[in-house]
Amino acid sequence: MLQTNQLKRALADGKTVFGLLNSIPSPLLVEMIGYAGYDFVILDMEHVSVNPETLENMVRAAECAGITPLVRVPNATPEAILRALDCGAQGIVVPHVRNAAEAAQAVAASRYHPHGTRGISGGRTTGFGAINLPAYFERANSEIMVVAMIEDREGVDNLDAILSVTGIDMVLEGAIDLSQSYGVPGQAQHPTVQDAIEKIAAGCRHRNIPFCAIPRDSSQPMTRKKRDAQAYLLGDDRGVSFRAIKAHLMTFRE
């Protein structure tokens, strides 16, 4: 059954929230992230191969651990979004949103009439038919989040039009892809890239839409907190795990 979206509640209350990208498709790891105290986890289907059964069990693990599960879909097609939401995800993260049309497509695919065109399923989100459908539709439209990733120069240029689309609940920056789009691949701290991120943050502030930053050095979290970010994606579990395992070994080798 669709649960209360605690992430959406926290953002509405003005709280600062912290998440982690899940790149290791394991329900156990998702459960660990939840019990570690993160507010949300983004289950990656853009760069990671995840079978539908595993994804559904990862969402269940998030529910058990009290963490909000979002799914980064490969693209904004209704088919990809429907698969993620029907497994119980409480929101989607759409990569490479470049214009208002793509943003509107993502919103429409994520919500039921009268706010969208999402297909109807009698699966786990509806209690396998135990929930009154009109009531479920209303609740789903209220709880499901749509997060737009701005990670292309075109997306920055069309930012105001994208943010004007009703139903965008949060915006996530993508500095690495932005660096490539601006001709400085891999240079997330390049002034041109950082200027683009500042434009995204300012646009979100103007539209009163939560902005999610990805800190890439120790000075960034507080800097962003003083400015525009209300949410932080603190890297991915793959990188965090690798660094922790390597550091653990070095304590014995030294």
- Catalytic residue positions, numbered: 47
Q: What is the DSSP letter of 124?
A: G
Q: How far is CA 223 from CA 53, 135, 197, 199, in A?
A: 40, 42, 13, 15
Backbone angles phi, psi at 71, to 5 degrees: -120, 125
- Share in percent of the chain as helix, strand, coil (round to 5): 50, 15, 35
> DSSP letters of 141-193?
HHH-EEEEEE-SHHHHHTHHHHHTSTT--EEEE-HHHHHHHTT-TT-TT-HHH
Q: At what angle do helices 27-35 and 52-65 cross, to 10 degrees?
A: 20
Say how many CA atoms lie within 13 Å of 12 toward its Cβ: 9
Alpha carbon 159 to its chain's center:
18
